[in-house]
A and B are shown apart, each in its own frame.
Chain A
Amino acid sequence: MIELKSNKLVVSFPELPFQPKLDIDLQRTLRIPDDGKDYPLPPGLGSFPLRHIDDFARRVPESWLKRGGVLLPMWQAEALWVNFNSHYVASRWTAYPFAVKVATGKINAITGEAWRRGLSRNPQDYVVVPEQPWLDGYCVEKGIIRQFVAMPLGQGYSAEEQLTGEAEFGGMQIEVFPMKPEVFEKRFPEREGLIFRDRSSVLKCAVLPEGMGLAPGGRMRQGIYDDPYSIHDWDTEHSSRCFIHLVNSAAWKAIAGTRPPSKPPTASQYTNAGYPWFDYYDAEQKAVGGSKILDALKSVAEMGKQKGAPLPDNESVAITNLVNLRAHLQANQVRESDFSQ
């Protein structure tokens, strides 16, 4: 089941032993320059608001309603990242493992292939949480992603439109599978001692906007980690999914009745103010290779150039304040900044 709590999708499996639970939230961030250079991780600027689509049934198209899920406001050319937080199982000293599939416009963000049921190992079409703490974009090369950037559907920018020629779905889709409880029990035997707390959970959810789709933006250093478990360890009998519709922020107030978050700072405003960027390495994890399909897509800036509509605020930035985050995030390891505007 998936609940919406404080702008988080809380995916839980109360019917399973250990009651696995995964929080997923979509973080506001700045758009990194789309200039062919490889950038580190930008900050999180707080969660995007999420709303049940059924609460605004009269103000959204019928085609959105039939997909269910939630609504999220984004400005054109705004970026997001997906934050995973699996809840800790204290008796086992670990956050419960989940396999999470993420797609945009029903195009898998790791493989570039069309959305399909279940999980695939070769190529791996999912990320493993908690090893993968977040996902910022499309996996285009080993250790490199292209940032998720919102663009209006119908203009040809989105990964979906570039690959299928159609602007049918848009948005983002996420699907979560917990590890089989019997496998978890075996792999993480009971331990006694200090209790640490952490957060994490599993969710199958899809984010899809009609009106807005996600397109590949600038290049960022982020490994998509190879599944350290077996494909048979995942419980494909139990999954939850949700569709996330991306609403243009300009239309958000008319639908939801509240103001959308303000536009995030530009990369150069943020960098020039001396705020930090982040690097995250986990030496224990092996990154999967990138998707040739996704790597062949035109980035937002390339597409804009071709269309004669250059991407605004796309100046390269030189980063001097870089914070290295240790692998296996601790409670005080935050990827956030107090930058506010």
Chain B
Amino acid sequence: MKSALGEYLRKCRVEKQATDGNSFSLRQLAGRIGVEPSYLSKIERGLEPRPSEETTRALALELGEDPDVLLAMAGKVSGDLQEIIRKRPQLFAQLIREMKNLPDRAVLRVVREVRDGNW
């Protein structure tokens, strides 16, 4: 069974291995994120399509990928985002629904910027 996440992770790891050497072998990477090489291999082959959030985050950190993107590929939403929504469910549900079709540029306008002042 193919999985978008598994294929993508494998591609990232193999690219890293090509430039950074054996530290990105299946065995060494698995060791660093605290899983068995066979388990990481299963994730890459799509046999474990939904690794835990913790494992996904550890992989994102090692591979230099965005954890939110990898979590989305695993069909998950980051726990901290779930917590934010649970605290103010109506407000954030409304916000997200209203923004769902906005172009990226318009969404970016509502992110918090570092305020510049007079100096």
Q: Are the CB atoms of A173 and B112 closer together than 8 Å? A: no
CA distance A330 to B105 in the complex (A): 31
Q: Please provide the chain B residues from 82 to 109 with a CB less than 8 Å away from any CB of chain A in the complex.
A: 104-105, 108
A10 and chain B: residue at smallest CB distance:
B114
Please tell me which one of the listed residues A15, A65, A243, A331 contacts residue B116 in the complex, with CB atoms under 8 A apart.
A243
* A206-B119, A330-B19, A331-B19 given; A68·B108 CB < 8 A: no
A243 and chain B: residue at smallest CB distance:
B119
Chain B residues lying within 8 Å of A14, measured Cβ to Cβ, are 104-105, 108
Bitwise, A66-84 to B at CB < 8 A (1) or not (0) is 1111100000000000000
B21 and chain A: residue at smallest CB distance:
A332
Chain A residues lying within 8 Å of B105, measured Cβ to Cβ, are 14-15
* A14-B108, A331-B64 given; A194·B15 CB < 8 A: yes
Chain A residues lying within 8 Å of B113, measured Cβ to Cβ, are 1-3
B64 and chain A: residue at smallest CB distance:
A197
* A14-B104, A15-B105 given; A68·B115 CB < 8 A: yes
Chain B residues lying within 8 Å of A243, measured Cβ to Cβ, are 116-117, 119
Q: Are the CB atoms of A173 and B108 closer together than 8 Å? A: no
Say how far B81's CB is from chain A's closest CB, in angstroms. 14
Say how far A279's CB is from chain B's closest CB, in angstroms. 21
CA distance A208 to B117 in the complex (A): 12
B54 touches A (CB below 8 Å): no
A31 touches B (CB below 8 Å): no
Say how far A164's CB is from chain B's closest CB, in angstroms. 14
Bitwise, B1-30 to A at CB < 8 A (1) or not (0) is 000000000000001101110010000000
Please tell me which one of the listed residues A3, A169, A195 contacts residue B119 in the complex, with CB atoms under 8 A apart.
A169
CA distance A194 to B18 in the complex (A): 10
A18 touches B (CB below 8 Å): no
Instruction: Give the number of chain B interface residues (Cβ < 8 Å).
Output: 19
Q: Are the CB atoms of B104 and A65 closer together than 8 Å? A: no
Say how far B47's CB is from chain A's closest CB, in angstroms. 26
Chain A residues lying within 8 Å of B64, measured Cβ to Cβ, are 197, 199, 331
B65 and chain A: residue at smallest CB distance:
A197
Q: Are the CB atoms of A3 and B111 closer together than 8 Å? A: yes
Say how far A219's CB is from chain B's closest CB, in angstroms. 29
Q: Please provide the chain A residues from 177 to 232 with a CB less than 8 Å away from any CB of chain B in the complex.
A: 194-197, 199, 205-206, 208
A240 touches B (CB below 8 Å): yes
A28 touches B (CB below 8 Å): no
Chain B residues lying within 8 Å of A65, measured Cβ to Cβ, are 117
CA distance A104 to B117 in the complex (A): 16
A241 touches B (CB below 8 Å): yes
A4 touches B (CB below 8 Å): yes
A196 and chain B: residue at smallest CB distance:
B19
Chain B residues lying within 8 Å of A205, measured Cβ to Cβ, are 114
A35 touches B (CB below 8 Å): no
A263 touches B (CB below 8 Å): no
CA distance A242 to B116 in the complex (A): 5
A4 and chain B: residue at smallest CB distance:
B114
Chain A residues lying within 8 Å of B115, measured Cβ to Cβ, are 52-54, 68-69
Please tell me which one of the listed residues B16, B111, B117 contacts residue A331 in the complex, with CB atoms under 8 A apart.
B16
Please tell me which one of the listed residues A67, A68, A196 contacts residue B15 in the complex, with CB atoms under 8 A apart.
A196
A-B contact pairs, 14 of them (CB 8 A): A2-B114, A9-B114, A15-B105, A53-B115, A68-B114, A68-B116, A69-B117, A194-B15, A195-B15, A196-B15, A196-B19, A197-B64, A241-B116, A331-B64
Q: Which residues of A contact B (CB under 8 A)?
A: 1-4, 9, 12, 14-15, 52-54, 65-70, 106, 169, 173, 194-197, 199, 205-206, 208, 240-243, 330-332
Nearest first, the 10 closest Cβ-Cβ pairs linking A and B are A68-B117, A68-B115, A2-B114, A67-B119, A67-B117, A242-B114, A1-B113, A68-B116, A14-B108, A332-B20
